[in-house]
Amino acid sequence: MNTEINRPAPPGGSRATAPEALFWVPIALASCIMMIMLGTRQTIGLFVHPLLDATTMNIAEMSMAIAIGQLMWGVFQPLFGIWADKHGAFPVLLTGALLLFCGQICTMWATSFLPMTLAQGLLSPAGSAALSFTVLIAVVGRRLPSEKMSMAGGIINAGGSLGQFIFSPIVQGLISMRGYAGSLMFLAFTALASIVPSWLLSRQRAKPSSAAPATPQKQPDAIDLKTQLRTAFRDPSYLLLHTGFFTCGFHVAFLTTHLPGEISMCGHSDSVSAISLSIIGLCNIAGSIMAGVLGKRFRMKYILASLYGFRAMIIAAYLFSPKTEWTFYIFAVTTGFTWLATVPPTAGIVGKLYGTRYLATLFGLTFFTHQAGGFLGAWLGGVAIQASGSLLWVWWVDIALAIVAAVVNLPIREKKPV
């Protein structure tokens, strides 16, 4: 049974006549959920060294457990997207909160590779997938006019970055005062708090069914999911979008998992790691909102190409800079503007091409590709440290992938914004 309530349209029937303030309610609720989920997920790197000190695992095993989690986060997203598309959002979001809670609790008891893989490689990523941008943007997209979709995606994504900005210093402070177990307990109960905005979001009114489809030439609601998937995977633009998003996953997972270790290897304290991750989250608030706003005025494929190209230049500049505290802070600022700013234009292109009816499923599949890159980023970082004690060659792989991503986004078929 669909738990999303579809109330009758307001007098006049047009979504354009709804009070402007009502458009912001689902955006704010989705942003709150995203803040909790990504604040929990993007602080995992702060736990790596405390867990290595307290367990029998080495860095390669820990990286593999986290890498499996990156991959499973991608595997679960289209599955939860299909569930949400067919049966409504609230059962999915509720399941996500419970799974994310269990993942943090089980991490407290994990002392070897297999329990850690269960906790951070299965439970936690499954919960994160159910609470992810994939599900949230599809729910919000059915409650907003199409012209507000790009901006809404940017703001929701910025909510996740706000979570990273807020949670990073809190998590590091709790680790210092209470150990990693106390910090994991905080994250577990914060995950449960997402149930409240999830319930409120599921009760928001969907836009009237008489509204025009997202693209004039397609009728997404008139075809079934299987037909839509077949159409998408025969479209070169959709496949090119997957290719570029693979790089984003590699980059984000590599830095989330191994940037704290890189900072430690350069002789800096744990506080520098926490501040750097927090700065990335803060700057990505601006980056995500900017990407969402620009998506209303420019073709989003050009925004993506620019973000990936800028990312390659940032990493190259970092590699040739002295590794002082200020180098890491400046790197965090510049990286933050591109961090997850690729998500709103990627989702926006999917929505432009195929409408919002199966957006959770179609964007979920692109996010699986994103997380396939995330698996390699998290895993190869651990392999590099275990083998040579350095991440240098992985940084160069990251640069090469960013250049490829910038190039492959250019041929994507996308109409100019009106």
| Residue whose token pair is 């980023």 | 377
In a domain, 400, yes or no: yes
Token code pair at residue 260: 């704290």
- In terms of residue numbers, what domain contains 265? 22-206+223-408
CATH number where 400 lies: 1.20.1250.20
Per-residue pLDDT of 118-166, as tens digits, reads 999 999 999 999 998 878 877 887 777 666 666 777 788 788 888 888 8
Specify if 4 maps to a domain: no
Threshold 0.85, pTM exceeds? no
H-run or E-run covering 407? helix 392-408
- Total number of domains constituting the chain: 1
Residue 302: count of CB within 10 angstroms of its CB: 15
Q: Which of 144, 151, 159 is nearest to 293 (CA)?
A: 151
Residue 344 belongs to a domain: yes
pLDDT tens digits for range 252-275: 989 988 998 899 889 898 889 889
Cα(93)–Cα(198) distance, rounded to whole angstroms? Answer: 6
- The DSSP call for residue 31 is H
Using CA atoms, how far apart are residues 120 and 116, in angstroms rounded to an integer?
Answer: 6
SS3 percent helix, strand, coil of the chain, rounded to 5, is: 80, 0, 20
What local confidence, expressed as pLDDT, does residue 211 receive?
Answer: 38
Assess if residue 327 is contained within a domain: yes
More confident residue, 26 or 331: 331
Task: Look at residue 253 and tell me if it is in a domain.
Answer: yes
**What is the rounded CA–CA span in Å between residue 39 and residue 31?**
12
Nearest to 254 by CA among 11, 42, 39: 42
